[in-house]
Structure 1
Amino acid sequence: MESTNRQSAFAIWTSLISNILLTVMKLSVGLLFSSQVLIADGVHNAGDVFATAAALVSMMISKRPPDKDHPYGHGKAEVIGAGIVAVVLLLAAVYMGYHSVMALMEPPHEASVLVLIAAGISLVWKQWLYVYTIRIGKNTNSSGLIATAYDHLADVYASLAAVIGIGLAMLGEYYNIHFLKYGDPIAGIIVAYFVLKLAIHMGRTSVDVLMEKNIDDDKMEEILQLVQSIPEVKRIDRIRAREHGHYMIVDVRVGIPAELSVQEGHDISKKIKQAIKDQNPIVEEVLVHLNPWYKENSKK
């Protein structure tokens, strides 16, 4: 656990420092050469700095053990952090879309090789950050880190569109093709669309977890099969499971033979818990409720 916590912390700090450096680079070059797509991407990165800091704080809180006021732990702090990232992405998408549309109403700005290089550096850097953080995020089942990874992915889209848009603008200037000269702001509009789509997806996922939506059907079926594999379980009355940030809580209600003793019922509960946890390392707690099962009633 300590090793995974260190990995998560290192990944989020790497993301934070990278976002600060990329923000400075993009805004400096974008403002110097009046590149709308690079300025918009730079503002997006500035929002990323705030979002990554929020994810870092939420991850630190989520690792705290359960206490008197939070008996189920602090795992949902990561989900709140992921929600903040989604809001930042939404605002960035609106900003990029608006300014890119406004740029279409103005004479096209001259494209620069330096702007293209800056966008290319951002593309490679962000692609590496996405691959790195999504791997660590999935290994540690960290909602905050996975959200940060998808934020990097949005930047990959932005930088790719910027490279294409700036490249088209340069071709338009070289061959004097007027509509290609607007490649920069058109790319900004495309970027805004993809970032908006990603923000909505992330926001919906965060709301689902906060509203304690059931886990997906495949995982639920897997847990169902595990419980049914316990010989003493004669009936499954209810199974519920919910994500709680980087871990999961499962609630099981089953019927067992009524003639069994309290001790035997306790042992069956332990079997159920162990079977579920052995197959699902992210399950933090299994709540088992035992109901009496009568053989004669089952034949009716």
Structure 2
Amino acid sequence: MDQYQEIKQGEKGAIISIGAYIVLSGLKLAAGYGFASAALVADGFNNLTDIIASTAVLIGLRISQKPPDNDHPYGHFRAETIAALIASFIMATVGIQVLISAGKSLFEDHSTAPNLITAWVALGAAACMAGVYVYNRKLAKRINNQALMAAAKDNLSDALVSIGAAVGIIGSQLGLPWLDPVAALAVGLIICKTAWDIFYSSTHALTDGFNENELNTLRGTIERTRGVRSIKDIKARVHGSNVLIDVVVGVDPELSLVESHRISDEIERRMERKHNIMSVHVHVEPLSFEETEARLAESTRPN
């Protein structure tokens, strides 16, 4: 299965998420407004933002399947990242609105506790989203799709949010009515936190940021390739769900062009086999006499 077929598979998870969020948001908002639960209303608005976020992931996945063209020689894989960035702004706006509404609710009369039905709605929704999370997580791991894995993590956070809403509702039934708006505040904070995490990861990828520890891991794999004497430079960046690597390796200056090319091929094979990275640009340079002498002296130096 090539990367375009894998992206196509990822659409299934996004579609399932959208369907679940449409049903659950409608159910939560109807029950929340009908039975006076601020926490469940906030959770319903949270799912509305999730519809937008999952739709953005789906659109990004479909655009990223377009093959390279004259304007996009590397393909359209970053469409996933741009869609996620747009979704983060929408989620942040709704999160702030939920916080404002919950804050006002704290100062209102709480003599009437929400109906216990709303707690069962929240717990049922949590179980549903837990199931969607398990499905999307397995699918994302199987096809190695970062966008779908992010959606799966959002599914898990939604399950936890619904559990928190249920706790607030049950607490209000036990004579602590202020727990319901407090739970709504917690939901608003989780929405904003999720929006920030998506915004940060998206902007980090779009500005060619890359995790330093992961880069060191990739460096170690290349250094252990037979024939590689040193790594003069290595860079990596995220392109949608793909990783692009540019590396300059130093080799024995006595090697032939054919032998140097063999080392490049071996690096590419190892990166694909160990890290599922298919795009590696290797530049081979002969070590200078001084570099060769320095490395020889280092290798023979007593510990």
Structure 1 contact 143–246 (Cα < 8 Å) conserved: yes
Q: Normalising by the residue count of structure 1, what TM-score does the alignment of the two structures yield?
A: 0.89
**Does residue 240 in structure 1 map to residue 235 in structure 2?**
yes
Other structure's SS at 1:237 match = strand
In the TM superposition, what is the alpha-carbon distance from 1:192 to its structure 2 partner?
Answer: 1.8
Among 260, 269, 273, which residue is 1:265 paired with?
260
Among 62, 70, 76, which residue is 1:68 paired with?
70
Structure 2 counterpart of 1:113, one-letter code: L
Task: String of CA shifts for 1:150-208, please: whole Å, max 9, x gaps.
Answer: 32233223211110111011121xxxxxxx11221111112222332232222211111
* Structure 1 Cα separation of the partners of residues 229 and 280 of structure 2: 19
Please show how residues 27-46 of structure 1 align to structure 2 within 5 Å: 27-46=29-48
Q: Normalising by the residue count of structure 2, what TM-score does the alignment of the two structures yield?
A: 0.88
Structure 2 contact 7–61 (Cα < 8 Å) conserved: no
In the TM superposition, what is the alpha-carbon distance from 1:293 to its structure 2 partner?
Answer: 1.6
Q: Detail structure 1 runs of 4+ shifted over 6 Å in the superposition.
A: none
* Structure 2 Cα separation of the partners of residues 110 and 230 of structure 1: 66
Moved more, 129-138 or 112-121: 129-138
* Structure 2 Cα separation of the partners of residues 231 and 24 of structure 1: 59
CA RMSD, Structure 1 to Structure 2 (Å): 2.0
**Does residue 206 in structure 1 map to residue 202 in structure 2?**
yes
Structure 1 counterpart of 2:150, one-letter code: A
**Alpha carbons of 1:140 and 1:81: their partners in 2 closer, same or farther (altered >3 Å)?**
farther
* Structure 2 Cα separation of the partners of residues 143 and 234 of structure 1: 33
Other structure's SS at 2:247 match = strand
Aligned to 1:293: 287
Among 198, 220, 225, which residue is 1:225 paired with?
220
**Does residue 129 in structure 1 map to residue 125 in structure 2?**
no
Aligned to 2:272: 277
**Does residue 166 in structure 1 map to residue 159 in structure 2?**
no
* Structure 1 Cα separation of the partners of residues 196 and 285 of structure 2: 42
Q: Report percent identity of matched pairs.
A: 30
How many residues get paired?
291
**Does residue 119 in structure 1 map to residue 114 in structure 2?**
no
Structure 1 counterpart of 2:293, one-letter code: K
Instruction: Flag structure 2 segments of 5+ consecutive residues without an equivalent.
Output: 295-303
* Structure 2 Cα separation of the partners of residues 142 and 275 of structure 1: 20
Other structure's SS at 1:290 match = strand
Aligned to 1:175: none
Task: String of CA shifts for 1:40-66, please: whole Å, max 9, x gaps.
Answer: 211221121121111101011223332
* Structure 2 Cα separation of the partners of residues 124 and 297 of structure 1: 61
* Structure 2 Cα separation of the partners of residues 161 and 223 of structure 1: 40
Aligned to 1:152: 155
Other structure's SS at 1:181 match = coil
Structure 1 contact 169–183 (Cα < 8 Å) conserved: yes
Instruction: Flag structure 1 segments of 5+ consecutive residues without an equivalent.
Output: 173-179
Aligned to 1:84: 86
* Structure 2 Cα separation of the partners of residues 251 and 159 of structure 1: 44
